[in-house]
């Protein structure tokens, strides 16, 4: 609201006319590219990186948005759900690092980790790794130190218990699992930090494309667990970063 | 088919007429009470006890069926889903032992355990106990030794791991859990015997009356786990007994 | 594992025999009340309070568990899903403060707030307040300062925008809404802190007992939002407290 | 019924025989092409244009129907769900304007707008644009002035609020959104005209092909909102036109 | 935005100080009763009546909100989902007319009809009448002339066809039906005005509490039909009124 | 259309005026009781009895409709879904025979059977009998000979096979079953007449109120099986009667 | 059972030994091709034609089964769900007539119609025709006269009413419709013969692959309607033939 | 726990230092290949063979895991869900036997059968055979004698009854069926050994990819039946082997 006061004072002091004041109150806080409204205030509000959701956008649109972002800020740009072919086109125009299995592209250099603790990312099986990597790369590009703990599903519990130290030492944990998604509950019962559960569409038959894992995680008997959408590695990584960068307020 | 051969031989030898042979081939292997066809051959085929599914039957019907069963066999009669009021009426006519929370009544004396090993019954929480008791009493009345391991849900894993010996020593395990039903997967990963998973309707919201646990159990990443209907303690106990009484064949 | 090292050293130094060492390694870290295994280490691990999930437990069981907890620790005991009648019985034995609409009872005195920031709890309508209060009381008893912002649903957006300062100043936000659950997305788009979305079963027809709000929240187009089970105010409050008490690790 | 009276009077006056009268009463008010019954009275009843639902029809069938329509009326013909390949074939026979992303073809010239007000079409994201364009082109070909407001999803609320004038000035609004579909509720709360919500299949995981947005819109806490089928841009545009051309009756 | 200009002009002219201007820009456009934020600008924006959604509110809350509304405006107050017992309490404090089967209470006098045409409300069966009455009374209290056409389901098509004149003469039609909900499609095919379909929870078995009718209506093969939530008579009546009061804009 | 010709001829011959002809063409073929439109032509079209769907109608409404029916025809009146209390009220006014478990009331005397063959009604268990009786009584009141074959579920296949003669001798079969509904497939494979499958809501857990049986029956691997709604005994009996009274046409 | 008596009499008279009698009682009533058990008694039991469900069978398997059938009987062989490529291979070995859109192949000559009446097959739209043709060809090959009435959906009711004579004159009606499936209810209300409803997967969005139409048809408010599986044209044609060939029994 | 005692004794006797003891207590009981944690203790615990779930693994990963397994044990390695292309690559490195339709590869030689009885595997139709073969090959490689009984669905019950001897003689039965899945109930009613039901995704329309069969099997009215995931042949074969190798315990 400080900005409003400033405008009002300029109006009062005659620097602005009523029409100019009205205009500035309405003035668009984002650049309009026609096909997408780029929110240029967001970096400020959200920190270390800009994000483009690549699915359903043409390479041209992605490049256009990324360039607009980079004109205003030095922050790296994270492009999610970017397929191979599109990545190649983007890479011709921009300094893109592409992570194949996670379908993530990064323009620019990820920052040094500056979060409170580490983000531990665990998966039930090897098929969950692409989603986990989406989370991991997102968290890294947003300035977090990430520890990966893959293929530690509950069917072989000793694999998980063996890494008890990592679990107890984490600041935030992301539990990625398909099928019955029990990993989230078991980790939720062991850990004493926030746990973000990511159901994956790994499985067949009555896994219903991730619904089984999703329900399992929503009904977790362990406290301190919350859930994001099926296969939403980005969302988990983003939220983990927010938690890991939490600052005292008010 | 031996019975058929016997009839044919009696026909051939003139002991039976064609009409008598036809009649005996058709002869009904069950008593018809009008409202229910009681299968009197089943005790022979299925072993230690007779079973009446009490839900949706009047106390009079239950008494009638139980009496017909007992006229033919000494086996105890197990009555499931028997509510308190009906149990009282039945108890006036028959020597009934009633188990309140499991809603099970038993007419007659359960046999000595004669199964191969023990049946271990584990629950995730205290609210799952009624379903577990339905399974336990069913298994006991069918001649099995039962070990109960209640309230060992995965949110506090040490409670379960503490009983590792029971798990490794069981002949068959019944895992009873609501909410996210992860207990079945964790036990399935630890044990090396058959595991029967029973989802319960314990939970709220997105547990959808047991659907979450059911899907979880069907998608168990642990091998050697199969599933029965939601809250079907009887079915689990019955199947456990069949497995525990398996005999070499052919 | 430090505890293990200690036991091993005592064994090595002859303070413990092999049998005693074995016994101590197995020693049960919880009290067994028969009907429930009370985890007495948890306070240590989880902080300011003990929790009893009251649904499906008799008043006697609740009292027994609460007393066992209080013998070991001074922490307040939070009893969720406690109905009026049970609360009255518990209150005869224990110093209980009962919150009617939230169905929460608290034994003992909540601690002073010691979290990093404030926990803001917003609801879409007045019918969502009981769930919100479950979250609020849980957070308070775990040592958090809570700000309540009720009846700010998106159908009258100015009600929400009017409280922009609270939203921008919060450390963690819990968004509680039934029907279409759009509140979580709108707040998620405005805030720059972690947002925990709680779908409620408020609504009728195609709200399907909270499923509509649940799906809406899982699919939120705003980043930084995660979801707990339908009507799970406790889970949201507990997780908010964990986030609000996060400490630098490793 | 005037037509009936006319026939009866002609019969009475001897102009028609009984058989002719019977025939005319039965006379088919549509042309029968064998594969489709073309309703030629509809233009009269429904106004500015004819519509062919292109999905599941061969280019030959589409051409046949369009030609039959055009023999009877000058109205433009709108062909929906027309894929690229079919459009090319149709364009060889008829003066077709084809809109690629909306998969709409128009034969003939859209009329001048003659509705009461403007039809505002808003989308949550860029991926919803094809459905929105189906609505927009439908409305235009039926004689409406259309204002497009794309990529104004609630995750960045200022984008929407910036266009408050368009919202308050609209005669009818079509809100097109996938994922959690919150746009409809937010617009419904801001506007004071009828709002038609169109859920789209944009999203993944628990969006279930548009079901999440659909439920969200059906449960909108804002009054004055109704819903059409997932991705049904045509239906929304058609209904908007009906509302926008409403005339005083009786 | 005119209001904003006015404030700015008063600031410029010195009538307001910067602080006063800031205050007035923030000034709350609603009364805060603690448990509910009453939107007092809404009557202006939405016309003839105020609405209270009665479900989940105590009689005291309802009375409080209604009184706040009436202090600011003469408009009648419509209270929906008001049960009998609550109605009696409200009636002691306010001049309430209560409609039993529709569960609607009206405080004050409905206005003279001033809409463009008539609102026709049709039901499939007699069991759908309460929902239809909710729609009818809502429309009437908002200033619409309503024609009722009840029990004209498609199983006896002649009942509907007999009222062809009403259908063709309506300005807006509300089609209320449970079971298979075919009424909406049939009316949609006959009418040339906007049709609002209201699925009801009338039915059993695979009607799934209105889901069958809901899906049927969403998939209507007739154009010009949109749908509101199951049993949402109020929503249909409100929307019909908006359509019926549409005014030329811009 | 013969009736139309007749009217036209009378018009031509001067027996009718144009207005009278118009009137007769429109003449209402049903009585209007205000709350229900009674179709008095239906007996003619549908045969032996009139039907009132009792659910959601007051005893007064039922009596009113039944009396209107009986004023025009001698046919018995079948009242379905009639609860005990309502039945008592109806019985005070009309000669009602009430069947308790089937919740069916019959006013008047059922006709002699005049169908082509017998209608065989089989149930899987005893709990399915009320639905089966609704079917049986409906079929009887419509003039069919009915054979009842109850409690012949596939878990004890010999019970069914024992009645092979009844199955092969039936004209139409109604298979009534809950739980997994396998009865329909087994009978469908054995019989060579039309089989109407009626899923019942008998079961628990994953039977989902009859959905399991419904899906099972829709997917029957046996040909010649069709399905009606869950618990819709009336529908099955009515359809069986139509099939059993089929007459050569055209 | 006559066959059984015959065997017993031959045993009694010494024509058969006990072993031979036993063997003949067990004698397999079908030919075993290894991959499929061909039921050669079925033609006798079911009438005019043999049926092969083509989906999931190789052309070689289809040819093998068809040849086995034709060795025993002159009846035509109907092959359903036969794709183009397979049809070509089959046609090289057998006198196959292939119907492309219905994916049906017929080996041999369909019989003269010998049913009681005509089978009327109606569709809502043109996209439903392939399913309708599957029904029509099935009915024809089983000896029924078929009348086709395509594209008469309820959105243009006059198209259907125009054919009232066909509807009233039919012996059995098959109503084929996707989307909201209202056709079945409307026809069910008009006709007085059995109506078989076939939901199709035609539609999009909330039609959920035919579920909307399926539910609609199961909940039909018209009596005398039953339903088969989605897209199951064969099942409807087969059942229609059974009804149309019903013969007086017992 | 014997292993623990051993370590403690070595510590006490000075053979191990505290650090070594700690290390050995933590020592990883599996080989870490980076992409997968191979559990090398499992052969011991689970018997005759190692299993690799092939879906979602590259041929290189499969080869790596298989080679690690074979370095430690002579047991054959079963690779499930192995597609043709991958099988070819694996076969170049390892002695692989590939079963095409079951998508199973076996490295090494299956053992001699050493189970208690035979495992009978029955299918409803020919399309279920691939799933049945997955079960059969799994059981064989784990040391079981398997009897196959394919295409014995309940629509032709005599096919199943003809093999009554096989059913009564089996030690464990696996019932594999799609569509309505009634086979499991019928076999469950006939047999007196454990029955494992495998729903398959065979079917169309309302079979919903196996959901219909799954629900049917979960609701089986026959006792002694449990269920695994849709198309989970491996799980059924594995569990059957566990049951068939059950040994007396404790």
Is the Cβ pair C201, B205 closer than 8 Å? yes
Q: What is the dihedral of CA C153, C156, C157, C158, to 10 degrees?
A: -120
**Is the Cα torsion angle H70, H73, H76, H81 positive or negative in sign?**
negative
Which residue, chain included where needed, has tokens 């219909």? H212
Task: List the subunits that have 3+ CB pairs under 8 angstroms with B.
Answer: A, C, F, G, H
Q: Give the distance from residue D199's alpha carbon to the nearest chain G alpha carbon, in angstroms.
A: 9
In F, minimum Cα distance to G218 occurs at F229
Q: Give the distance from residue C191's alpha carbon to the nearest chain D alpha carbon, in angstroms.
A: 10
Higher pLDDT, G102 or F56: G102
Helix (H) or strand (E) holding B161: helix B157-161
Strand-pair partners of G235: none
Which pLDDT value is given to residue E249?
61
> In the numeric block, which tokens belong to residue B92?
């006036």
Q: What is the DSSP string of E96-155?
A: EEEETTTTEEEES-PPPP-SSSEEEEEESSGGGHHHHHHHHHHHHHTT-EEEEE-S--GG
B146-160, C88-102, C161-175, G18-32 — most confident range: C88-102
| Residue range E15-67, pLDDT digits in tens | 888 777 766 665 444 445 555 555 544 443 445 578 888 888 889 989 988 99
**Cβ(C140)–Cβ(C44) below 8 Å:** no
Three-state secondary-structure class, residue B176: strand
Helix (H) or strand (E) holding G244: helix G233-244
Residues of D in contact with F24 (CB under 8 A): none
Nearest to A224 among C165, C219, C239 (CB): C239
Q: How many CB atoms lie within 10 A of CB H83?
A: 14
Which of F122, F204, F212, F231 has the most B C-beta neighbours within 10 Å, making it the best mutation to test the interface with B? F204
Q: Residue A17 — pLDDT band, cuts 50, 70, 90?
A: confident
Q: Residue A29 — pLDDT band, cuts 50, 70, 90?
A: very low
Task: Provide the mean pLDDT of chain H.
Answer: 85
Task: Provide the mean pLDDT of chain E.
Answer: 85
Higher pLDDT, F20 or D185: D185
Task: List the subunits that have 3+ CB pairs under 8 angstroms with D.
Answer: A, C, E, F, G
Helix (H) or strand (E) holding H4: helix H2-12
- Model confidence at F67: pLDDT above 60: yes
- Model confidence at F28: pLDDT above 50: no
* Nearest-angstrom CA–CA distance, B217 and H227: 10
Q: Which residues contact H13 (CB under 8 A, 6 or more apart)?
A: none
pLDDT (mean) for G132-144 = 96
Angle between helices D59-72 and D84-93 (to 10 degrees): 40
> In the numeric block, which tokens belong to residue C143?
């040592």
Q: Does the interface ipTM go beyond 0.85?
A: no
Provide Rg for chain H, Cα atoms. 21
pLDDT (mean) for E171-189 = 94
**Cβ(B37)–Cβ(F126) below 8 Å:** no
pTM of the model: 0.86
Which pLDDT value is given to residue H169?
86
Which pLDDT value is given to residue F138?
96
Higher pLDDT, F11 or G194: G194
Which pLDDT value is given to residue E24?
62
Q: Give the distance from residue A170's alpha carbon to the nearest chain C alpha carbon, in angstroms.
A: 7
* HEC letters along F33-69: CCCCEEECCHHHHHCCCEEEECCCCCHHHHHHHHHHH
Chains F, G: CB contacts within 8 A come to 122
Which pLDDT value is given to residue G43?
41
Which pLDDT value is given to residue C28?
40
- Model confidence at G63: pLDDT above 60: yes
Nearest to A183 by CA among A212, A210, A209, A157: A157
Is the Cβ pair F179, H215 closer than 8 Å? no
Nearest to A125 by CA among A148, A151, A102: A151
Greatest Cα pair distance in chain D: 74
Residues of G in contact with F229 (CB under 8 A): 218-219
| Residue range F101-128, pLDDT digits in tens | 899 999 998 899 999 999 999 999 889 9
Which residue, chain included where needed, has tokens 């205003």? A72
| Residue range D222-242, pLDDT digits in tens | 889 999 999 999 999 999 999
Nearest to D57 among G126, G150, G162 (CB): G126
- Model confidence at E1: pLDDT above 50: no
pLDDT (mean) for A205-228 = 93
Residues of E in contact with F209 (CB under 8 A): 205
* Nearest-angstrom CA–CA distance, B139 and B149: 15
**Cβ(F18)–Cβ(D8) below 8 Å:** yes
Which pLDDT value is given to residue E220?
92
Helix (H) or strand (E) holding A119: strand A118-123
* Sheet order of strands, B145-149 included: B145-149, B118-123, B172-177, B195-199, B225-227, H225-227, H195-199, H172-177, H118-123, H145-149
| Residue range H31-72, pLDDT digits in tens | 444 455 554 444 434 455 788 888 888 899 899 989 988 887
Which pLDDT value is given to residue C162?
77
* Nearest-angstrom CA–CA distance, A11 and D167: 28
Strand-pair partners of D11: none
Higher pLDDT, F24 or H112: H112
Three-state secondary-structure class, residue H176: strand
Residues of E in contact with G155 (CB under 8 A): 185, 188-189, 220-223
Residues of A in contact with B219 (CB under 8 A): 179-180, 203, 205-207, 212-213
In C, minimum Cα distance to E41 occurs at C156
**Cβ(H227)–Cβ(H183) below 8 Å:** no
Supply the DSSP symbol for B206.
Answer: G
Angle between helices B84-93 and B59-72 (to 10 degrees): 40
Three-state secondary-structure class, residue H51: strand
Q: Which of residues 139-198 of G touch H (CB under 8 A)?
A: none
pLDDT (mean) for E120-148 = 95
Three-state secondary-structure class, residue G188: helix
Is any Cβ of chain B less than 8 angstroms from the Cβ of C211? yes
> In the numeric block, which tokens belong to residue A66?
């990324």
How far does chain A reach from its first CA to its final CA, in angstroms? 17
**Phi, psi (degrees; rounded to nearest 5) at D145:** -85, 130
Residues of H in contact with A164 (CB under 8 A): none
Q: Residue A128 — pLDDT band, cuts 50, 70, 90?
A: very high
Nearest to C221 among D153, D206, D217 (CB): D153
Which pLDDT value is given to residue B74?
79
**Cβ(F124)–Cβ(F153) below 8 Å:** yes
Which pLDDT value is given to residue E22?
66
Burial G59-81 (b: 16+ CB within 10 A, else e): bebbbbbbebbbeeeebbbbbbb
Is any Cβ of chain D less than 8 angstroms from the Cβ of C199? no
Which pLDDT value is given to residue E21?
74
* Nearest-angstrom CA–CA distance, A25 and A30: 13
**Cβ(H177)–Cβ(H213) below 8 Å:** yes
* Nearest-angstrom CA–CA distance, C121 and C147: 6
Residues of H in contact with G55 (CB under 8 A): 127, 204
pLDDT (mean) for C198-202 = 96
- Model confidence at B143: pLDDT above 90: yes
| Residue range B32-45, pLDDT digits in tens | 555 555 554 444 34
Which pLDDT value is given to residue E221?
84
Which residue, chain included where needed, has tokens 């004396």? B109
D228: number of CA atoms within 13 Å, CB side?
30
Task: Provide the mean pLDDT of chain B.
Answer: 85
* Nearest-angstrom CA–CA distance, D194 and D190: 11
Which pLDDT value is given to residue D48?
58
In B, minimum Cα distance to C201 occurs at B205
G79: number of CA atoms within 13 Å, CB side?
34
* Nearest-angstrom CA–CA distance, F86 and C32: 55
Higher pLDDT, H25 or D143: D143
Nearest to B36 among F126, F162, F202 (CB): F126
> In the numeric block, which tokens belong to residue F182?
């396998």
Which pLDDT value is given to residue D41?
42
Three-state secondary-structure class, residue H149: strand
Q: How many CB atoms lie within 10 A of CB A208?
A: 21
Q: Residue F1 — pLDDT band, cuts 50, 70, 90?
A: very low
Chains D, G: CB contacts within 8 A come to 47
Phi-psi region of F205 (alpha: psi -120 to 50; beta: other; left: phi over 0): left
Nearest to D221 among C154, C219, C220 (CB): C154
Which of D6, D13, D18 has the most F C-beta neighbours within 10 Å, making it the best mutation to test the interface with F? D18
* Nearest-angstrom CA–CA distance, A19 and A17: 5
Is the Cβ pair G186, E182 closer than 8 Å? yes
% of chain H residues with pLDDT over 90: 55
**Phi, psi (degrees; rounded to nearest 5) at H51:** -130, 135
Q: Which residues contact G87 (CB under 8 A, 6 or more apart)?
A: G96, G98, G105
| Residue range D205-221, pLDDT digits in tens | 999 999 999 999 999 98
> In the numeric block, which tokens belong to residue D234?
């045509």
Is the Cβ pair F239, G225 closer than 8 Å? yes
* Nearest-angstrom CA–CA distance, A195 and A222: 10
% of chain E residues with pLDDT over 70: 86
Is the Cβ pair G226, F170 closer than 8 Å? no
Angle between helices E182-190 and G182-190 (to 10 degrees): 80
In A, minimum Cα distance to H209 occurs at A205
- B161-165, B244-248, G193-197, G225-229: segment of lowest average pLDDT: B161-165
Is the Cβ pair B215, A208 closer than 8 Å? yes
Task: Provide the mean pLDDT of chain G.
Answer: 85
Task: Provide the mean pLDDT of chain D.
Answer: 85
| Residue range H194-232, pLDDT digits in tens | 999 999 999 999 999 999 999 999 999 888 999 999 999
Is any Cβ of chain D less than 8 angstroms from the Cβ of F18? yes
E68: number of CA atoms within 13 Å, CB side?
21
Q: Give the distance from residue H9's alpha carbon to the nearest chain C alpha carbon, in angstroms.
A: 7
Q: How many CB atoms lie within 10 A of CB D28?
A: 11
- Model confidence at D93: pLDDT above 90: yes
% of chain B residues with pLDDT over 70: 86
Nearest to F101 by CA among G125, D143, B56: B56
Helix (H) or strand (E) holding H38: strand H37-38
Which pLDDT value is given to residue H20?
74
* Nearest-angstrom CA–CA distance, G79 and F182: 26
Which residue, chain included where needed, has tokens 């005869």? C92
| Residue range C129-142, pLDDT digits in tens | 999 999 999 999 99
**Cβ(F55)–Cβ(F104) below 8 Å:** no
pLDDT (mean) for F224-237 = 96
- Model confidence at A56: pLDDT above 50: yes
> In the numeric block, which tokens belong to residue A142?
């947003």
| Residue range E150-173, pLDDT digits in tens | 999 888 787 788 788 888 889 999
Chains A, B: CB contacts within 8 A come to 117
């Amino acid at each position: 609201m400080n900005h409003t006061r400033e405008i009002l004072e300029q109006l009062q002091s005659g620097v602005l006319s009523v029409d100019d004041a009205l205009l500035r109150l309405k003035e668009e806080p984002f650049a309009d590219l026609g096909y997408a409204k780029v929110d240029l205030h967001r970096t400020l509000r959200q920190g270390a990186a800009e994000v483009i959701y690549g699915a359903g956008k043409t390479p041209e649109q992605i490049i256009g948005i990324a360039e607009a972002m980079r004109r205003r800020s030095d922050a790296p740009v994270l492009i999610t759900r970017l397929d191979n072919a599109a990545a190649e086109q983007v890479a011709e125009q921009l300094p893109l690092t592409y992570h194949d299995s996670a379908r993530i592209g990064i323009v620019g250099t990820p920052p040094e980790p500056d979060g409170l603790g580490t983000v531990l990312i665990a998966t039930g099986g090897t098929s969950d790794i692409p989603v986990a990597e989406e989370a991991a790369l997102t968290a890294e590009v947003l300035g977090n130190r990430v520890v990966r703990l893959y293929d530690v599903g509950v069917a072989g519990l000793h694999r998980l218990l063996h890494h008890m130290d990592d679990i107890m030492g984490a600041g935030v944990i992301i539990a990625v699992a398909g099928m019955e998604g029990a990993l989230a509950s078991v980790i939720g019962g062991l850990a004493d930090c926030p746990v973000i559960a990511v159901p994956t569409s790994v499985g067949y038959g009555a896994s219903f494309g991730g619904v089984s894992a999703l329900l399992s995680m929503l009904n977790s008997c362990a406290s301190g667990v919350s859930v994001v959408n099926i296969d939403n590695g980005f969302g988990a990584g983003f939220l983990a970063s927010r938690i890991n960068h939490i600052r005292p307020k008010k």
